[in-house]
Amino acid sequence: MATTDKASPRDRLLEAAADLFYRDGVSVGVEALCRSAGVSKRSMYQLFDSKEEMLAASLERRRAWYEAQLTPADGPGAPATPRERVRDVFERLEKGSVTPGYQGCPYLAVLVELKDPEHPASVVARDAKGRMESYFREQAEQGGVADPAVLARQLMLVFDGASARAGARIERLDDGLALGTATALMDAAGMA
């Protein structure tokens, strides 16, 4: 998502923040953010009370886009069964993980970097991870799993672990390892 000259200063700051925080981590300074966005520090502080507030707003703004990258859209050609929908998430993860610039899940990265559960960005990130777990639980329920909450947690462990390892360039996911692991968990849970 590139910033444009016609975007508002707030939009440019949020885009720059999302890009820089994802690429370089949450320790990016205010000066670098403002320079990247083409916005003065004074303007930034008129728009946001703090860098922390801007980080949280940038994560919130990107959440719909991020979720759309991972979960299948409804309509013709969409995965029909709960099992296919979960498999689709892992297929998308594997495909995305080998694209240039992939750094893993941005929400998990924020949680790991900040280590402060009360930080505004941690709250947004935890909510995003909770929404994904809820999606997995919903699919498990629809797939007739006896304990959908446990399967959802297991799938989150695979998703987060795979994305973190791929983001750190420890593991390549284009060999089906994450998908195979998720499929084995669904098999063991008896998911239709």
What is the assigned CATH class of domain 9-189?
mainly alpha
Q: How many CB atoms lie within 10 A of CB 156?
A: 18
Q: How many residues does the chain have?
A: 192
H runs (alpha helix) in 71-191: 82-97, 106-114, 120-142, 148-167, 177-189
The helix-helix angle for 120-142 and 82-97 (nearest 10°) equals 140
Extract the tokens encoding 49: 């009370």
The two tokens of residue 81 are 């069964």
- Mean pLDDT for the chain? 93
- Domain locations in the chain as residue ranges: 9-189
What is this structure's pTM? 0.90
Share of the chain above pLDDT 90, in %: 86
pLDDT of the residue at 5: 56
pLDDT beyond 50 at 1: no
Q: How confident is the model at residue 113 (pLDDT cuts 50, 70, 90)?
A: very high
**In this predicted model, which residue has the larger pLDDT, 132 or 73?**
132
With CA atoms as reference, report the closest residue to 89 among 102, 78, 99, 75: 78
Q: Which residue from 182, 176, 120, 190 is spatially nearest to 157, judged by alpha carbons?
A: 182
| Cα end-to-end distance, the chain, whole Å | 37
Cβ pair 61, 107 in contact under 8 A: no
CB 172 within 8 A of CB 102: no
**pLDDT tens digits, one per residue of 51-79:** 999 999 999 999 988 888 888 777 777 78
CA distances from 59 to 41, 119, 120, 152 (A): 20, 13, 10, 23
